[in-house]
Amino acid sequence: MKKVFLYLAGFLLFSCGSFNSIDSFYEAHKNDPQVTAIRVPQFMFSLVSEISPEMKSLVGNTKDLRYMQFPSATESQTRFLNDRMNSFAGGSFIEVFRKNDELKRNVVSIREKRDVVKEILIYNNDNVNGSFLYFNGNFDPMKVRELAKNDEFQNFTNGLLPQFNLQTPGVVNE
């Protein structure tokens, strides 16, 4: 009986840990109502890299690029998205920038391996929309810091949707 309990506890811990991955979050929410979800295919990286000169060098080292935007007009929606970001950042991501204003958030988090940044996660929430921008690849830590400091990730996000001829999701009034 004790072994069954230990196996069950281990399974639950493993399951909860994997839910906090970007992959599982993307898959779980890409079909939600009013969500914009983009997973940029490799052949389009050159088009996306033209958003800004600063991003050209970053995108050139990218293996996976995803963007998700959620409605965040209610306190419960905003809290849900903030909690998701906190769970990502509380794992193996390291926050390199955070700005909180009431429920509004701007967070840049990274995962690194030795002297290379392997993943970048940018979260913005303005109490109307919440967005996650995710990069996976090999990135120069100094370049990432510079881009975060100069708000270039926000500029990149603003330029991403027009590249795909998409509109941001509207807020539904009930």
Q: What Rg do the C-alpha atoms of the chain give, in angstroms?
A: 17
Task: Report how far apart, in Å, the C-alpha atoms of 48 and of each of 55, 59, 119, 126, 132 are.
Answer: 9, 8, 18, 24, 16
What's the pLDDT score for residue 165?
61
What's the pLDDT score for residue 61?
80
44 band by pLDDT with thresholds 50, 70 and 90: confident
CA 174 remoteness from chain centre: 28
Residue 129 exposure: Cα atoms within 13 Å on the Cβ side: 17
Residue 16 exposure: Cα atoms within 13 Å on the Cβ side: 8
What is the pTM assigned to this prediction?
0.77
Q: Tell me the mean pLDDT in the region 29-51.
A: 84
Higher pLDDT, 15 or 155: 155
Question: What confidence tens digit (pLDDT) does each residue in 88-118 have?
Answer: 877 789 988 888 999 999 899 999 998 899 9
Higher pLDDT, 6 or 37: 37
